Amino acid sequence: MIECKTSKEIGGMGHSKKRKEDARFIQGKGHYVDDVKLPGMVYMDIVRSPYAYAKIKKIDASKALAIPGVLAVVTGKDLEQYNLHWMPTLMSDTQMVLPTDMVMYQAQEVAAVIATDKYIARDGRDAVIVEYEPMTPVMDPFKSLDPNAPVLRSDKPGKTDNHIWHWEVGDKEKTEDVFSQADVVVKQQMHIPRIHVASIETCGCVAAYNKVENHLTMYMTTQAPHAIRTVIALVAGHVGLTEEKVRVISPDIGGGFGGKVPVYPGYVIAIAVSFLTGLPVKWIEDRSENLQADSFARDYHITAEMAGTKDGQILATRFKVLADHGYTDASANPSKFPTGLFSIGTGSYNYHNAYMEADAVYTNKPPGGVAYRCSFRVTEAVHAIERITDIFAREIGKDPADLRMQNFIKKEEFPWASPTGWSYDSGDYHAGLQKAMDAIGYHELRKEQAELRKQGKWMGIGISTFTEVVGAGPSKDFDILGIKMFDSAEIRVHPTGKAIARFGTKSQGQGHETTYAQIVAEELGIPMEHIQIEEGDTDTAPYGLGTYASRSTPTAGAAAAMAARKLRDKAKKIAAYLLEVSEEDLEWEPGKFFVKGAPEKAKSIQEIVFASYTNHPPGMEAGFEATHYYDPPNLTFPSGAYICVVDVDPETCHIKIRRFVAIDDCGNIINPMIVQGQVHGGLTQGLAPAMYEELIYDEAGNILNGTFMDYLVPTAVESPSWETGHTVTPSPHHPIGAKGVGESPTVGAPPAIVNAIVDAVSHLGIKHLEIPVTPYKLFKELKAVGYFK
């Protein structure tokens, strides 16, 4: 029998009564989407499915429509008339906007209610009666491939199974040869569970279609406003919303972390309703909707194998992945990379044989596979390589730090051609791990651990030495829906020497307003407080692919430097003209050009800019503006060495992180304080899947932890005091030698934590623990090895 939550459990009636008590009822104009208030604006709420897999027999909207203030109830059948009931995903799969006959996961959008205020809209939502015919869902990705499993995507002509795609990289035969001859082979199955991108601000939009001008302004929580404008034009161009008629404004955003890259059905429904009615439509998800229905991250089942010698030389690795994508592949990956950049999983180690393969399947879970603070599946890859490296070290009885030092790619071996096709730009892994070991007092800790074990106390030390891959990307390989993944900067310097710089990226709290201004200031010598930074408005900013996957510094940051350098070239010509010397006679120091050997003969950047509007050389274009679309020659490869120390209570299995040292290398650092903030936040978001977070479903498709009562997002209370530091290995191809940083800590933290916990209990026969490692999970494992009776 199928059990499910009733709509009463999901949310009760009487929301309009709560209006007066709602502290979020903001007066006036703010900076977030929810603060946007437009004349005549109406509100949208969404009816969601209580079932994971069901036929829709009937939608009865009569009671909802009888509520004063409810203006309309929109269903999939309504959208079907305009061919707007399906939309493409960013991975060229298809996704329902609203269903016409089937629902495919719990909390899927079923109908939309439009009302004069948001509380009435919610009352209307609860009054819509939907009759379902429930079916048995497919929740287990392994069972999804069973020949008898129902074919979930029956909408796809000719589809006879639930398989989405197969991917592989590396040399299968050579890797098999190495494995068959190796002294030591270790193998471990691991699950990187489905987790949720819990940004403080949920998703939402205000779609404002102006019938007179045939123009849509879309205020929305998006990390990629330009790409979204293109997607809107692709989906709705046939009804007149062509790209020049669409303006996407992404105002301040309360965290994105990858979850605000996809196009959610709510956005499209709001656009459709505004288009049909001419009224501005506001839709803001509530917290539970955000948790239950928005794109998930991770959900990779990995079998990792490593082959090596008895003295610790790594010879080869082999990874096999089963990826659970829910009912549609809505990953936000570059097109050519269905597993994202998972192939970085050969890690920081010098060996030449690797093979990886992955298969993706449909299940009755919400769609997605977004890169949650991760450069497209790097978290999964780093977890696999850093866990299996530790397992190998334990198998041969070697200290995991020594084993890593033995196998690291040496700094003089860069650029390094990885067996899966990457060209690592630079790195100094030995220096990073040594610095982390010195900072934490590694050898003393090992002695202390041995002493404590004698006393029956469990302490563990875990290492993760990862290589990241960020900055998508070189346009020869990287595109989303065919749009190349370059990024852009436009700098305009006004006659008085004050500037505005606009970018194709979109900060969600990473501090681009500061760091981009620093780059322009450094290159042009204009004080950074005189440089205004703008992102997020497609009518004004140059086209770019947005901010996610730590790509902003490697792409738009580089574009800022390149655009500023174009301006400096122009400035030199103007200075030569003003000083009546040739360009070769001039030297630059930040803020001015001066004549070599005669520093008093100089023109400041402000004088030069003024001249560009008032007294520029004959034949030269007036003004002081430059734009650069930066297509990086390679990705950047930041790295890190993290060491975690845990104490585990032998009676309660409580796990306490005693210390955590994170040494990051993101090349030249633009702003140390911002980088430190990025690392602190990222480490907490790495702690989350390691010890707390996992979306859990029962066999009937119910989400068992669909609210923050049951889904624990760690805060300062759960977090240890992070100790951070850095080494600097500049990227040789980036104009200012910088690499991205935002994702590194989220990627590097989980294996360091798990390696530490396993290390604490390894003497009891435990070789592996699945994340999140909770005290209860640890208790069960200890029971399985006979420690607890």
Based on the shown chain and the rule CB under 6 A, indicate whether residue 702 belongs to the binding site for ligand CDP: no
Which one of the spans 235-243, 552-560, 747-755, 770-778 is the region binding ligand CDP (CB under 6 A)? Answer: 552-560
Based on the shown chain and the rule CB under 6 A, indicate whether residue 461 belongs to the binding site for ligand CDP: no
Based on the shown chain and the rule CB under 6 A, indicate whether residue 76 belongs to the binding site for ligand CDP: no
Segment holding 477, helix H or strand E: none
If the CB atoms of residues 85 and 512 are measured against ligand CDP, the closer one turns out to be 512
Segment holding 327, helix H or strand E: none
Site track for ligand CDP across 491-510, x = CB under 6 A: -------------------x
Based on the shown chain and the rule CB under 6 A, indicate whether residue 489 belongs to the binding site for ligand CDP: no
If the CB atoms of residues 237 and 732 are measured against ligand CDP, the closer one turns out to be 732
Based on the shown chain and the rule CB under 6 A, indicate whether residue 511 belongs to the binding site for ligand CDP: yes
Rounded CA-CA distance 11/7 in Å is 6
Parallel/antiparallel/unpaired status of strands 42-48 and 281-284: parallel
Cite the active site residues.
223, 373-374, 743
Question: Which residue in 95, 11, 104 sits closest to 51, CA to CA?
Answer: 104
> DSSP character for 399?
-
Could you say which of 346, 515, 634, 724 contacts ligand CDP (CB under 6 A)? 515
Q: How far is CA 303 from the centre of its chain?
A: 24
Which one of the spans 168-176, 309-317, 667-675, 759-767 is the region binding ligand CDP (CB under 6 A)? Answer: 667-675
- Other CB atoms within 10 A of residue 305 CB: 21
If the CB atoms of residues 375 and 755 are measured against ligand CDP, the closer one turns out to be 375
Whole-number minimum distance, CB 145 to ligand CDP, in Å? 36
Could you say which of 553, 612, 702, 727 contacts ligand CDP (CB under 6 A)? 553
Based on the shown chain and the rule CB under 6 A, indicate whether residue 675 belongs to the binding site for ligand CDP: yes
Which one of the spans 388-396, 438-446, 491-499, 546-554 is the region binding ligand CDP (CB under 6 A)? Answer: 546-554
Rounded CA-CA distance 400/407 in Å is 11
Q: In the range 731-760, which residues lie near ligand CDP by CB under 6 A?
A: 738-742
Give the binding-site size for ligand CDP (rule: CB under 6 A). 24
If the CB atoms of residues 36 and 545 are measured against ligand CDP, the closer one turns out to be 545
Parallel/antiparallel/unpaired status of strands 639-648 and 458-467: antiparallel
Could you say which of 162, 290, 449, 550 contacts ligand CDP (CB under 6 A)? 550
Residue 763 near residue 460, CB atoms below 8 Å:
no
CB neighbour list of residue 218: distance below 8 Å, 6 or more residues apart: 205, 206, 207, 208, 228, 229, 232, 246, 247, 248, 249, 267, 271
Rounded CA-CA distance 421/427 in Å is 17
Question: Which residue in 430, 376, 406 sits closest to 747, CA to CA?
Answer: 376
Based on the shown chain and the rule CB under 6 A, indicate whether residue 671 belongs to the binding site for ligand CDP: yes
If the CB atoms of residues 367 and 471 are measured against ligand CDP, the closer one turns out to be 471
Based on the shown chain and the rule CB under 6 A, indicate whether residue 513 belongs to the binding site for ligand CDP: no
What are the distances in angstroms from CA 110 to CA 46, 91, 293? 7, 23, 12
Q: In the range 677-696, which residues lie near ligand CDP by CB under 6 A?
A: 678
Based on the shown chain and the rule CB under 6 A, indicate whether residue 512 belongs to the binding site for ligand CDP: yes
Which one of the spans 127-135, 179-187, 669-677, 684-692 is the region binding ligand CDP (CB under 6 A)? Answer: 669-677
Based on the shown chain and the rule CB under 6 A, indicate whether residue 331 belongs to the binding site for ligand CDP: no
Whole-number minimum distance, CB 747 to ligand CDP, in Å? 12
3-class secondary structure, 309: coil
Rounded CA-CA distance 602/572 in Å is 11
Rounded CA-CA distance 449/445 in Å is 6
Which one of the spans 66-74, 175-183, 664-672, 747-755 is the region binding ligand CDP (CB under 6 A)? Answer: 664-672
Whole-number minimum distance, CB 32 to ligand CDP, in Å? 19
Could you say which of 241, 531, 674, 690 contacts ligand CDP (CB under 6 A)? 674
Q: Which residue has the tokens 């008339």?
A: 81
If the CB atoms of residues 222 and 550 are measured against ligand CDP, the closer one turns out to be 550
Could you say which of 298, 551, 616, 726 contacts ligand CDP (CB under 6 A)? 551
- Strand ranges for 406-548 from DSSP E: 416-417, 423-424, 458-467, 479-480, 483-484, 487-493, 499-503, 531-535
Could you say which of 198, 261, 645, 669 contacts ligand CDP (CB under 6 A)? 669
If the CB atoms of residues 668 and 762 are measured against ligand CDP, the closer one turns out to be 668
Task: Name the H helices within 352-501.
Answer: 378-396, 400-407, 429-440, 442-454
Residue 657 near residue 645, CB atoms below 8 Å:
yes
Which one of the spans 152-160, 551-559, 687-695, 714-722 is the region binding ligand CDP (CB under 6 A)? Answer: 551-559
Based on the shown chain and the rule CB under 6 A, indicate whether residue 667 belongs to the binding site for ligand CDP: yes
List the helix and strand counts (H, then E) for the chain. 19, 35
Cα of first residue to Cα of last residue in the chain, in angstroms, is 35
Based on the shown chain and the rule CB under 6 A, indicate whether residue 375 belongs to the binding site for ligand CDP: no
Q: In the range 190-249, which residues lie near ligand CDP by CB under 6 A?
A: none
Based on the shown chain and the rule CB under 6 A, indicate whether residue 670 belongs to the binding site for ligand CDP: yes
Rounded to the nearest 10 degrees, the angle between the axes of helix 744-761 and helix 378-396 is 30
Q: In the range 557-576, which residues lie near ligand CDP by CB under 6 A?
A: 557
Whole-number minimum distance, CB 550 to ligand CDP, in Å? 4
Based on the shown chain and the rule CB under 6 A, indicate whether residue 341 belongs to the binding site for ligand CDP: no
Q: Burial, 172: exposed, middle or buried (Cβ in 10 Å; 0-12, 13-18, 19+)?
A: middle
Residues that bind ligand CDP (CB under 6 A): 510-512, 515, 547, 550-553, 557, 666-671, 674-675, 678, 738-742
